[in-house]
Amino acid sequence: MSRYAAPLFALLGAIGFAVTIWMIFTDTPLQFSWQPNERHVVLATGSGSLFFNQKIFFWHVPHAIMLFLAVGVAGVSSIGFLTKRNPKWDDVALASVEVAVAFGAVTLLTGMIWAKAAWGHWWIWEKRLTMSLLLWMTLVGYTIVRRFAGASGERIAAAMAVFAMIGVPFIYTMVGAGDNHPQAGSEGNVATLNADMRPAFWSSMVTFLCWFLALVITRVQSARMQREVRELREKGLDAGVLE
Amino acid sequence: MSTLQHAARIAWKDLRIELRSKEIIFTMMFFGGLLAVIYSYVFPTNLDMIKLAVPGMLWVTIAFAGTIGLSRAFDRERENDTMRALLLAPIPRISVFLGKAVAIAVLVLLVALVIVPMLVLLLDVPLFDNPGPLLISLLLGAIGFAVIGSVFSAALIKVRSRDVLLPVIIYPLLVPLFMAGTSITAGLLAGDSEKVGFWMGFLGLYDAAFLVVSLWIFESMVIE
Amino acid sequence: MRSIICLVLLVSSTALADSGSAAGSGSAPAGSSAGSGVPSAGAGSGSAPAAGADTPSAPIPIPGPPPPVEPNPAARKACVEAMNGDPAFADRIVKTAEVQLHDKLMAVQVTKDVCTLRDHGDSQADVAKNKKHVLMAYIAMWLVAAGFVMFLWRKQQALKVEIANLRRDLDAATKDPK
């Protein structure tokens, strides 16, 4: 990981952002019907269509997917940390959890605004929303533990990240049980997305992947710096410079 | 002796201490009763409404009372530093974890078994119509609670702010469990067997997944 | 705003539609006898627009104000007798009345349809051009991103300073004893 990686990804993200915004507002059809099926219409305004509000989709979904990706990265590197005891893994886990908190905040906020536009309420206690909020709270709990649990906080937080990762599939299980969350298709996958929207969607995905990588790399670098500070402090204590 | 026998012995040790002092059981039950009184004040108590609220009451009581029992059970190990003794004993760490988890699961289940008749008595809800599925869901809920709670309580034993951090850590992980339990109880009250089946499966899978991960993770959590 | 105008239009036009019976009997003090008479007869008898007190002030684009009913027992009696005497005349009278009634009902219907269409168009435009929520979502995203970047940047700056300070102190401390 060279020192140019983060700026490079940030630059790619910026270019991708411009391209994506152009595609979203010029190349995608305005009206996107969520197939007014019985699941969605129950809570929607009745038309089953979101018109201009659907543009939020291109931000909301990539952020949600990046949130899950970040949770996955955090979980895997936490497993690495717990087995190998190498602090490098812990840096990656901490970085991706913090980035996941940011991406999760965007996911929840854009989702809430969308809900206001489509359903008329800022929040609905529907299973997927609740579970996403819970996942986000687990991640916030992770940062709280890192901050207040002292020396054993690293291990406890790592276990939290692993459990959070295990919990993600259950979020998808819950969607099966009488859920009203809009799906891109009957199976909720991208393959059933309107063909004219796919280029913009994938462009958005790549953009936010770059953005995600830039943030994680930067955060890993500052985690290393934190570690360096700690080591220098210890050295300073040994040398008698600090008390 | 096998791992499971060691675990059974540790669990029995915990339960025997509890049987002598009856401290946790009494406080948990008293707390549960107190919560029932609070609920009767907080929620509208006509029969139609209460039927909708009771599943939540039952599981929230289990969560709160269980947390009390959980922190007390691990405080006992901390007071004389007996956790270190347990970990130093020439038995697999998994046995320690399983023993503690089983003891806590038994305590939580006992409390649940006291709370259910109390809710039936005080609020007049037909919870006893399907005793079998209700008992299974309570058992699964208690196991899940004990598994997740034990892992983090054991790890938090050395942390100064453990009482504040324990709920912060375990509740987000436990809420899916309680949601499933609540849905099962609600399904039982409404006679919706499909819903009960789905959430029972969910609860079982959730327990299984977290048990497997906990068995692996416990060892690295308590390394001194 | 537009829907309010539509509502006023609709109310007034429906009020006009049955003004033959309801409004006539209620407001006209002149004839108190046969207010409940067949409205077509009243409509056919005269077309003099005597300022009806019951029409609201809103401008009404629909054709013609209604002929006010001025029941005149004598004229009415003469008319009935004439109609009874000559079936052809009666036919003509009834036809005229039907055409006028039809026109009036059509006017009401058209007003209703126009209002419905406008409402549909309004709400469709509202949803289609609703940039508010999209803008809000984008602003929210940017705020979170900017906040996080700020957090990262400040943290890194602070760490850089701290590392530099510690290094300097350490170097100074390790050099001094020599």
- Quote the CA–CA distance of B57 and C71 in Å, as a whole number: 74
Same domain, C114 and C176: no
For residue B175, which residues of chain A lie inside 8 Å, CB to CB? Answer: 134
Of residues B49 and A94, the one with the higher pLDDT is: A94
- Quote the CA–CA distance of C144 and A104 in Å, as a whole number: 10
> Is A163 in contact with B148 (CB distance < 8 Å)?
yes
Nearest CA in chain C to A117: C133
Same domain, C123 and C150: no
Same domain, C11 and C87: yes
Angstroms from C154 CA to nearest CA on chain A: 10
- Quote the CA–CA distance of A114 and A178 in Å, as a whole number: 20
Name residue A33's beta-bridge partners.
A49
A185-196 per-position pLDDT tens digit: 333 334 445 666
- What pLDDT score does A10 carry? 87
Q: What is the mean pLDDT of residues C121-135?
A: 66
- What pLDDT score does A194 carry? 62
- What pLDDT score does C38 carry? 42
- What pLDDT score does A6 carry? 83
Q: What is the mean pLDDT of chain A?
A: 77
- Domain of A88 in residue numbering reads as 5-180+189-239
Q: DSSP 3-state assignment of A85?
A: coil
pLDDT band at A51; cut points 50, 70, 90:
low
Q: What is the mean pLDDT of residues C12-39?
A: 44
Of residues B189 and A172, the one with the higher pLDDT is: B189
- What pLDDT score does A172 carry? 64
Same domain, C123 and C149: no
Same domain, C18 and C103: yes
C30-44 per-position pLDDT tens digit: 444 444 444 444 444
Interface of B with A (CB under 8 A): 148, 151-152, 155-156, 158-161, 164-165, 168-169, 172-173, 175-176, 179, 183, 195, 198-199, 202, 205-206, 209-210, 213, 217, 220-221, 223
- What pLDDT score does A176 carry? 54
Of residues A29 and A143, the one with the higher pLDDT is: A143
Neighbours of chain A (3+ CB pairs under 8 A): B, C
For A49, list phi and psi in degrees, rounded to 5.
Answer: -120, 150
Query: Cβ of C133 and A53 within 8 Å?
Result: yes
Q: What is the 3-state secondary structure (H, E, C) of A177-201?
A: CCCCCCCCCCCCCHHHCCHHHHHHH
| Contact present, A and B (at least 3 Cβ pairs less than 8 Å) | yes
pLDDT band at C122; cut points 50, 70, 90:
low
For residue C133, which residues of chain A lie inside 8 Å, CB to CB? Answer: 53, 56, 113-114, 116-117
Angstroms from A184 CA to nearest CA on chain B: 24
Domains in chain C, number: 2
Same domain, C141 and C79: no
Name residue A49's beta-bridge partners.
A33
Contacts 24+ apart (CB under 8 A), C156-159: C156/A218, C156/A221, C156/A222, C156/A225, C159/A222, C159/A225, C159/A226, C159/A229
- What pLDDT score does A196 carry? 67
- Domain of C7 in residue numbering reads as 2-128
Of residues B99 and C62, the one with the higher pLDDT is: B99
Same domain, C139 and C114: no
Query: Cβ of B220 and A82 within 8 Å?
Result: yes
- What pLDDT score does A72 carry? 93
- What percent of chain A has pLDDT above 70? 74
For A48, list phi and psi in degrees, rounded to 5.
Answer: 75, 5
C43-71 per-position pLDDT tens digit: 444 444 444 444 445 555 555 556 666 66
Highest mean pLDDT among A71-75, B31-35, C65-69, C134-138: A71-75
Query: Which of C86, C107, C128 finishes a domain?
Result: C128
The CB density around residue A183, as the number of other CB atoms within 10 Å, is: 18
Angstroms from A112 CA to nearest CA on chain B: 20
Cα–Cα nearest to B213, from A208, A184, A161: A161
pLDDT at residue C124 tops 70: no
Same domain, C122 and C138: no
> Is A93 in contact with A71 (CB distance < 8 Å)?
no
Q: What is the mean pLDDT of residues B42-69?
A: 85
Same domain, C144 and C118: no
Domains in chain A, number: 1
Same domain, C62 and C150: no
pLDDT band at A161; cut points 50, 70, 90:
very high
pLDDT at residue B105 tops 90: yes
Same domain, C39 and C122: yes
For residue A236, which residues of chain C lie inside 8 Å, CB to CB? Answer: 166, 169-170, 173
Same domain, C42 and C89: yes
Judged by average pLDDT, the poorest of A46-50, A170-174, B28-32, C83-87 is A46-50
